[in-house]
Structures are given as structure tokens and as C-alpha cells.
Amino acid sequence: AMRRFPDVQGVAILLVQVSILLSTQAQNTDKKGSVTVVYEPKPVTEVVCSQRKALTESELENMIDTWIKTGNECPLGKPCRNAKNLADYKALRAKCEGPPRRAKEELRALVANVEASLQAMNGQYTSLKDALDSLDREYRRQFQRVWDDIEKLHATLAYTSIGAGRIQQALFHQSSQGRHIGNLIQQLSPGNAEELLAFAWNFPWPDQQSDVYDKVEAVIKSSQDPVLETVLAIDIINTKNPKLKDKTKQATEYLKQLQTSTLSGDFSTIASLAARFPKHYAYLRQSLFKPAEGSKTSAAALWNLSELPDHLPSAEERLQTIEAIVQPLLGVNGTLVDDAEYFWPLTKLADVLNRVPESDEQKADLERLRNKFATHVSPKPLDYYKKLHSQIQSLKPFSGSTL
């Protein structure tokens, strides 16, 4: 059986074996003529000179087939030389050997050229570096000018957004520019106080919120509007920011003073608050009419408060205010306490309640509030007070009265 030929040496062995086979077969047959060599190729899995990829398996098989065919065509007894086969063999060796090595002198010249090129490049490095540094400085200057313009644009948009009441948009532009918040607020007038209050309330950075309220407070005080000062105090108390602790104490004291003036009959701030900021009034109403701990509502204060509902803008707020006024006067059974001191003020308050317009939406609330006026005198709470109201139009008891 024929062997596999993994390299050029195997090819040479093949040629020798072919020659021997031709000579032996001629002697045995003792005949002249051509001899046919039968070659059964086996699968070639290796590649000759694989490191340089000289031939693939298919190319090697084709080359061997060509050599065998040439051997079959050679005349018997004569040298079998084929120029193409010889050229293929030499080409194969050349591929395996690779390019011819360069002479040492040529290599030295090449190294010298490389060194000269590197030296020339090194000589140009300083000037190139200076040029790049100059270009970098110019880019930095241009970019800085662009960023400055962008910062000014954000500041302008934040300013105009607050003035237009677009608080969320103002907060976005404020967060996008590094300018201190005070510079923005100081550009606004007291006419923008309501927008500034909303801006401070929605300010999302707790560490800076105290500074924001400082600036907003200065603007609001310059407006000399007690309603805005009340809103500011309520907002600060409800912010729940530990950094506003001192401001919270000041705001609490301010609301106590407002409570005192309201109980004495000054409703200018409270009535305006209910009309302009109903949500803030609803919050304040929860505690405005409560007496100090350990004490009770005075009859004089109750008499004054009975006039407050008539100053409020809506029937709903009147009902809610009347309920808040009588809440501290209720007993355990949910009706008014039997206290002669409150007799005349409650008569006046009952008349106010009776004059509140009744609607389908408020009918249930109105009836529930009327039932809180129940006494041991009459099963119909308001009827009792209504009959007496005409008798007390000009009466106003003093604190501590036993009427």
C-alpha cells in the first residue's frame, strides 16, 4: 500500500518507489512498452509546510496525482524528467523556506534609517506639543464661553419661569445652572411673592432650602402682606426640614400671634387667607380656634368668632369654620356642653348657621352640624337659639360672664 506524504521528502521517496516499481515490472514481463502504475490515494489530513501554509490538502493531492500521471507517460528505460514537476517542487521548497534573508549590511542600513526617522520625529515633538497646547487652550476658552452663555440662559429661563408661575420648569433651569439661588430670587419683586412661595415649597434640595426661604422671606416682608407672611409660616412648619428648625419656631410664634388677633375679632388676615389660599386656611382652621392646653374658650372670644363665618367666601368654608369653632365646646356625647357662659355667643353662632345657604351637596353636613347644638331645653337644637336671637342683637358679654 502507498504511504501518505506529509512533506517534500515523502514526495522524493514516492518518485524512487515509482522508478523501482517500473524496473521490476519490466523485468518480470520481459516486455517493452509503457507501464501503468495504480495509485490509491488515502485522505490527506496534514498540510505540507503548514506554518507557512504552502499547500492545502487538496493542492497536495492534485500535485501527487500529476506526478503519478507523468510517471505513467514516461517511456520505459529512459530518464523520466518533467520540467513542470521540477518547477512545482522548487516552488514548494521556496514557499516553505520563505523569503531570502537580508544581508547584515542591509539590516544595518535599515536600522540606521529607522533611528534617523525617530530622531527627526523627536525633533518635531516640541513644536508639535506647543501647537497642541495652544489648540487645547483655545478649545477650553471657546467651551468656557459656551458654558457661560448656557448658564446665563438657564438663569434667565428660571427667572422668567418663576414669574410665569411655571415652578417645575423654574426648578429644572435652576438645577441646570451653578449660580447661587439668592442671585435668582433677588431679581424678583414682591409681585412674584406667591410664585416664590411655591418655588421654595417645591425646592427639592434640603441643604439649600433654608437659604431659599431666607431670600423668599425677605421678599415677602418687603411686600408688607400679612396673608403672604401667614402662608410662609404655614409652609415652613409643614416642610419638615430639620435645617429649618429655627424658622419653624419663629413661624409657630407668628401663628400664635395671628390666633390671638383672630380671637379678639380681627378677621382681615384670616378672611383674605381663606379667599386667596383656601388650602392654607383649611390647615390653619384645625388649630386656630383651640384654646391653650388646660384652659377653655372664653365667651368673649366665642362671641367674636361667631362673626367670622360671614367674612368667608363660600358656604362650604362657613360650615367647616362653624364646626371648627364649636368643636372645643362639645361634650362626650358630641353635643354642646351645658355652660351658661356660652349661651349668648352660641345663640349668635346658631343664627349664622341658620343663614348658611343649603345645597344638596351640603345638606347632610348642615344637618349633622345642627344636631351638635342639641340641649336639654329643646329637642330641636336651632329652634331654641333662633327664638332668642332677636333679644341679643346689641348684647356682647365680657370674658368671665355668667350670663
Q: What span, in angstroms and rounded, lies between the C-alpha atoms of 236 and 216? A: 11
How much is the pTM?
A: 0.57
Between the alpha carbon of residue 181 and those of residues 312, 351, 393, the distances in Å are 37, 52, 55
* C-alpha grid cell, residue 349: 353662632
- Helices then strands, counting H and E runs in the chain, come out as 17, 0
* C-alpha grid cell, residue 132: 497642541
Helix axes 193-201, 167-175, angle to 10 degrees: 60
State the Cα torsion 313-314-319-322 to the nearest 10°.
Answer: 0
Which of these, 403, 377, 378, 379, lies nearest to 392 by C-alpha position?
Answer: 403
* C-alpha grid cell, residue 15: 518518485
- Determine the distance from the C-alpha atom of residue 278 to the mean position of all C-alpha atoms in its chain, rounded to a whole number: 33
CB 189 within 8 A of CB 218: no
* C-alpha grid cell, residue 332: 362626650
Maximum alpha-carbon separation in the chain: 164
State the Cα torsion 6-10-15-17 to the nearest 10°.
Answer: -110
> First-to-last CA distance in the chain?
140
CB 164 within 8 A of CB 187: no
Q: From first to last of its 403 residues, what are the pLDDT tens digits of the chain?
A: 344 444 444 555 555 445 444 444 444 444 444 444 444 555 444 455 655 456 677 777 787 788 788 777 777 777 777 788 788 777 777 777 666 666 777 778 888 888 888 888 887 887 888 888 888 888 888 878 877 666 666 666 665 666 556 656 566 556 555 555 555 666 666 777 788 888 788 777 788 788 888 888 888 888 889 999 999 999 999 988 888 999 999 999 999 999 999 999 999 999 999 999 999 999 999 999 988 887 888 889 999 999 999 999 998 999 999 999 988 888 777 777 777 788 788 888 888 888 888 787 788 888 888 888 765 555 556 666 666 665 555 454 544 443 4
